[in-house]
Copies of this chain bind each other. A is one copy, B any other.
Amino acid sequence: MKRRLKLTVEYDGTGFSGFQRQTGTDLRTVQGVLERALKQLTGSEYVIVGAGRTDAGVHALGQVAHFDTESGLPAVRWPAALNGLLPPDVSVSGAEEVDDSFHARCSAKSKEYCYLILNRPQRSAIWHHHSYHVPQRLDLKSMAQGAGCFTGTHDFRAFSAAGSSARSTVRRVFASSVFAGGHWIGFRVAASGFLYKMVRLMAGTLVEVGLGRTDPVRIEELLVSRDGCEKGGPTLPPRGLFLVRITYEDEQELLCAPEFPALNVFGSSLVRVP
């Protein structure tokens, strides 16, 4: 009998050409690696559906994917079984049986991303592939003010890459905050959905604000101007971006949810900048 399983997946995006399988190419993708492990485990062919198509170099702590299986293996056994077959840079952290109506992408109510910035004179050797380095001092207060402007329902066209296939550029941002501690700055944002390169363009705009090159008010202007794509930005590199979690609860619950939990980095605790 067919059952639908929901997987929670962590991956280091450094060695991947993004999440989505690219048929007819040799490109290494997270989807491709997961589907191969599923075939090794069960002997059957699978097509998995991911909640978000992260770009090459983007990491995930809580990507979600679903697939249908005839295997009788209990859901709780899948993570360890798959992790024994998966390469070190992909790990399945959870699996649960879900209703047939569940769809990793379409049922998602909110996605949360974090963009991690190292703000100190010299770059990091250990965090090179997992953060973006800004040597000049960033003004946290104005960055936090700028991040707050993203909250609400807006037309994010100025924060989308040209050539995006999205029909509407209106998205609802539930929360948008700057966290800081030690030399680290994290920009966390949760929204109903994101346009292509949207978080990296938002983070790039906040860095311009932090450097004093852009006024936080400019973000409000960009959100109402509907000028054109990529008026915000620049687009920061993928290596600082983490897909933190996908939420399937009702929007109402999301709005009642407490603030982001504290964000911490090895050596320094990150707390929300008011």
The residues of A with any CB-CB pair to B shorter than 8 Å are 10-12, 59, 61, 79-80, 83, 88-94, 116, 120-126, 128-130, 181, 262-270
Contacts and interface: CB of A to CB of B under 8 A. Distances in A.
A121 B89 contact: no
Contact of A122 (B11, B93, B122, B129): B93
Contacts of A93: 120, 122
A178 to B, nearest CB: 16
Given A262-B269, A264-B268, 10 more contacts: A10-B125, A59-B126, A61-B126, A91-B122, A91-B124, A91-B125, A93-B120, A116-B266, A264-B264, A264-B266
A77 to B, nearest CB: 11
Nearest to A94: B122
Interface centre among A126, A129, A267, A268 (most CB of B within 10 A): A126
Nearest to A10: B125
A125 B264 contact: no
Given A264-B264, A265-B266, A130 B126 contact: yes
Contacts of A128: 12, 88-89
